[in-house]
Structure 1
Amino acid sequence: MPRTAPSLEKLREITAEIPTPFHLYDAAGIRKNVTSLQQAFSWNQGFKEYFAVKATPNAAILQLLKDQGCGVDCSSYTELLLADAMGFRGHEIMFSSNVTSAEEYQLARKLGAIINLDDISHIDFLAENGGIPEDICLRFNPGGDFKLGTTVMGDPGEAKYGLTPQQMPVAINRLKELGAKRFGIHSFLASNTTDSDYYPTLAKILFELVVDLHKQCDAEFFLVNLSGGIGIPYKPGLPNADLEYIGSKVHAAYEQTIGTSGMKDLAVVAELGRFITGPNAWLIATALHHKDIHKQYVGLDASAVNLLRPAMYGAYHHITVAGKEDAALDHVYDVTGSLCENNDKFAIDRELPEIEIGDLVVIHDTGAHGHSMGYNYNGKLRSAEVLLEEDGSFRMIRRAETPRDYFATIAGFEVTEDLGKPELDPLKQGDATSA
């Protein structure tokens, strides 16, 4: 069952200061998930959670995670800048990217990040743009289907990421020629699964690969990165992943492979994002309108700009109405935003209590890939983010965008002080265009 949202009284206290819509993060829940993960892998001395910044790129969230001993998994130039600004240093930063620019590799090298190469052609590209570090990782793509038992979990052969099995020894030998001393292996074969056998199965594949490459290439390995993939149960009634089971099974696979190989101890690390923050946030919105045509609609002041997943993937997010959590689910609504797109719907034919204009509507499990996937279609502005502490205190950790923010990047376009009529200077426009 999705986590219980703060009470109506608490939400009214927050909305008295910060207007809806906004994402509300639960600091205590985030800390609890990190601690559970660290305990599950405490058998591995080098274990570290590299939080996937793409999930929730907010400085306050990263500071909270840094205080818990986490590193960060970055995938872009801007995420690297954010990591550096938050005080993450050297091997506290994992840089896993694809179609990577020279500027991104150069910055990653400057910061001393662990670089995770996505393609064999990137070896010489990195050598020319930042240089080859002594410690480096390679992303592995086994191809084919990835199965747990008889269930197909993913189709790596269709994924754009990683090196093939045949390319792995070639890449390691080339990297050794260019000065690399120690290697890591990374792979990501399934997304958002609560099947507790995913990590153990993946780990066994990677541990066996490490042993083979160690023998074949006489290469020293320092790290196996299980990446992300452990998901959360968005729908009520679905199971959670069992971290204690996962940790013990990965440990057993480690002992059966690395433990009997004569190799030195390897760090086993993760890059979880969704599991850490996903269930620990809610999108809080206000019901603005009813519409009664062929169906019953409730329109919110939030839209796909604030939470894209339902429109993009048809993803399910549980919805409750603050103060009506125990009321009968005797109405059926499509819950929508205001975008000029018919897929701007948080729920379709959802059974809910009666929603009245002004009710606070709570959309659950928005802590990962929620605010971070926001955009500005229809000139809509991205919302605020708020952090709720265990003692009930709260603070805004990202303000909502304003029209001034929206217009700021348009050449020659200025907004009057009162944010009224926009003014376009043709001369500035011409200068900008001709430049």
Structure 2
Amino acid sequence: MKRPFVTLEQLREMTVQYPTPFHLYDEKGIRENARKLKEAFAWNPGFKEYFAVKATPNPAILKILREEGCGADCSSLTELMMSDRCGFTGPEIMFSSNDTPAEDFKLAAKLGATINLDDFTHIDFLKETIGFIPETISCRFNPGGVFTIGESTEGFQVMDNPGDSKYGFTREQIFEGFKKLKAMGAKRFGIHAFLASNTLSNDYYPTLAGILFRLAVELERETGCDICFINLSGGVGVPYKPDQPANDIAAIGEGVRRQFEEILAPAGMGDVAIYTELGRFMLAPNGCLVTKVLHFKHTYKEYVGVDACAANLMRPAMYGAYHHITVMGKEDAPCDHKYDVTGGLCENNDKFAIDRMLPEVEQGDLLVIHDTGAHGFSMGYNYNGKLRSAEVLLQEDGSTRLIRRAETPEDYFATMIFD
């Protein structure tokens, strides 16, 4: 049974100040997750989590994570700008981008971010763009083939076919790339890879680590490059469904440690730092979308219409992702009514739930849509002229703080030219 991190009484107080819909985040849960992750990898002195800014691009969230020792993983110019404005500096920023514009590389270099190259041709492009190759550089590896392990939180693995993925260097390219980068002045190297998404398996990270650790040993031996860090990226999922088991981050950290001791340490590479980019794991369970029931429709099915829509949370509409729904105040009531829970977009896929068993829903009920703390607000858009919602932080002391105001029609029209 999934329980919200907020009560009906708290929500009723919030909705007086913050009209629904809005995204709500739990500061206490965010800090606890960051500390559990850090503890799980405490065996590695150089460990650092680089939070994926794309998951939850909000300054208040980023500042909390920075206070907990996290860095920022950026993939665009504006994410770099936001991280800079939030106080992240130099090597606290990882820049992992693909099909990268020149201006993005220029800002990454100016900020002293660690640049993670996605393609072999980007080596020359980076040199031409910024005039030099940074002494610390990373390359993204794509082993090709098919990678399958564990269960995805969606029932399938979004990126379990690296050979069909647009990301990264091939094995041959990364060996050639390291040699070329070294000849161009690079002195410290990193390896990065991302093979699967939303995995519910304590074995995923250790398996990936084994692949990258063995690659690192071969790369260092063959190229003479000093490999200083290995970035395991993301992929550790969260249980979106109530009956799915949660990952055990302590067991995952221990599994990576065993691979480290078996592969890197004997090769004289026991000083390699381990990095992670766990945007979803860090934030998804610590955020929810709060929405109010507006209408009912009784046709061929029973529909519950709410004031949120896919513009506030597109994952269900985009690829059928499951998000649990709690009817607040009815947490223990029997789920004996079948509904489609829908938004107001002019698209039939604007449904947060299809044939979902819920307690009887009434007009004005507040619904909590769970696990929207990552890739929730950040994937919002303005289709049908819908306006992006507010973001609210539930602070550790139980008070709330507005951390992004809701858009207004003036915001929507601001970039339009009517003349």
TM-score range, shorter chain: over 0.9
Partner of 1:109: 109
2:136 matches 1:135: yes
- 2:2 corresponds to which residue? 2
Find out whether 1:381 has 2:392 as its counterpart.
Answer: no
**In the TM superposition, what is the alpha-carbon distance from 1:177 to its structure 2 partner?**
1.4
AA in 2 matched with 1:56:
T
**In the alignment, is the contact (CA less than 8 A) between 2:21 and 2:289 conserved in 1?**
yes
Give the residue type in structure 1 aligned to 2:148. Answer: K
* Preserved CA contact (<8 Å) 1:140 1:168: yes
* In 2, Cα distance between equivalents of 1:4 and 1:167: 47
The amino acid of 1:27's aligned partner reads E
Deviations 1:235-292 (A, max 9, x none): 0010111111111110110111110012350100100100011001110000000000
Matched-pair contact (CA < 8 Å) for 2:20–2:292? yes
Contact map agreement 1:116 1:186 (CA 8 A) in 2: yes
Measured against aligned partners, the alpha-carbon deviations of 1:143-198 in whole angstroms (never above 9, x if no partner) come to 00013389995100000000000111110111011110111000000101111100
Q: What is the RMSD of the two structures over their aligned residues, measured on CA atoms?
A: 1.3
Q: 1:395 aligns with which of 390, 401, 407?
A: 401
Counterpart AA for 1:346: F
1:362 to 342, 354, 368: 368
Partner residue, 1:124: 124
The within-5 A match list for 1:36-435 is 36-130=36-130, 131-148=132-149, 154-263=160-269, 265-411=271-417, 413=418, 429=419
Q: 1:264 and 1:200 mapped to 2: Cα distance?
A: 16
- The Cα offsets for residues 180-226 of structure 1, whole Å up to 9 and x where unpaired, read as 01110000001011111000000010011000000000110110000
Instruction: State the 4+ residue runs in structure 1 displaced beyond 6 angstroms.
Output: 149-152
Q: Which residue of 2 aligns with 1:417?
A: none
Amino acid at match of 1:133: P
Give the superposition deviation at 1:34. 0.6
Shift, 1:392, TM fit? 1.0
C-alpha separation in 2, matches of 1:82 and 1:106:
15
- Counterpart AA for 1:221: I
Partner Cα separation in structure 2 for residue 216 and residue 2 of structure 1: 50
2-structure distance, mates of 1:169, 1:282? 44
Is the 2:288–2:370 contact (alpha carbons within 8 Å) kept by the matching residues of 1? yes
Q: Name the CA shift for 1:322/1:193 in 2 (closer, same or farther; >3 Å).
A: same
Question: Could you say which residue in structure 2 is the equivalent of 1:432?
Answer: none
Deviation at 1:71, TM superposition (A): 0.2
1:147 is paired with a residue whose SS is: coil
Q: Which secondary structure does the structure 1 equivalent of 2:180 belong to?
A: helix
Q: 1:20, 1:256 → 2: CA distance?
A: 52
Confirm or deny: 8 A CA contact 1:2 1:365 kept in the other structure. no
Separation in structure 2 between the aligned mates of residue 218 and residue 66 of structure 1, nearest angstrom: 34
Give SS of 1:148's match.
Answer: coil
**Which one has the largest radius of gyration?**
1
Total equivalences in the alignment? 413
Provide the rounded CA distance (Å) in 2 between the counterparts of 1:133 and 1:88.
Answer: 19
In the TM superposition, residue 355 of structure 1 has moved relative to its aligned partner by 0.9
Moved more, 262-271 or 366-375: 262-271
Give me the whole-angstrom Cα distance separating, in 2, the residues matched to 1:181 and 1:69: 26
SS at match of 2:200: coil
1-structure distance, mates of 2:96, 2:214: 22
Q: Secondary structure at the match of 2:48?
A: coil
CA distance in 2, matches of 1:303, 1:371: 11
The 3-state SS of whatever aligns with 1:351 is strand
Report the CA distance between 1:306 and its aligned residue. Answer: 0.3
Indicate conservation of the 8 Å contact 2:4/2:368, yes or no: no
Relative to structure 1, the CA distance from residue 404 to residue 368 in structure 2 (aligned partners, 3 Å threshold; closer, same or farther) is: same
- Partner SS state of residue 49, structure 1: strand
- For residues 150 and 53 of structure 2, the distance between their equivalents in structure 1, rounded to whole angstroms, comes to 32
Distance (whole Å) between structure 1 residues aligned to residue 269 and residue 362 of structure 2: 64
* Contact persistence 1:139–1:163 (CA under 8 A): yes
Matched position secondary structure for 1:289: strand
How much identity, in percent, do the aligned residues show? 63
1-structure distance, mates of 2:2, 2:238: 9
Q: Is the 8 Å Cα contact of residues 310 and 317 (structure 1) preserved in structure 2?
A: yes
Answer yes or no: is the 8 Å Cα contact 2:200–2:237 preserved in 1: yes
Cα distance in 1, alignment partners of residues 222 and 139 from structure 2: 16
What is the deviation of 1:327? 1.0
Cα distance change, pair 150–403 in 1 and its aligned pair in 2 (3 A): closer
Further displaced range: 187-196 or 145-154: 145-154
Q: Is the contact between residue 134 and residue 180 of structure 1 (CA under 8 Å) also seen in structure 2?
A: yes
Q: Indicate the SS of the match to 2:295.
A: strand
The two structures have a TM-score, normalised by structure 2, of 0.97
Instruction: Return 5+ residue gaps in structure 2 as ranges.
Output: none
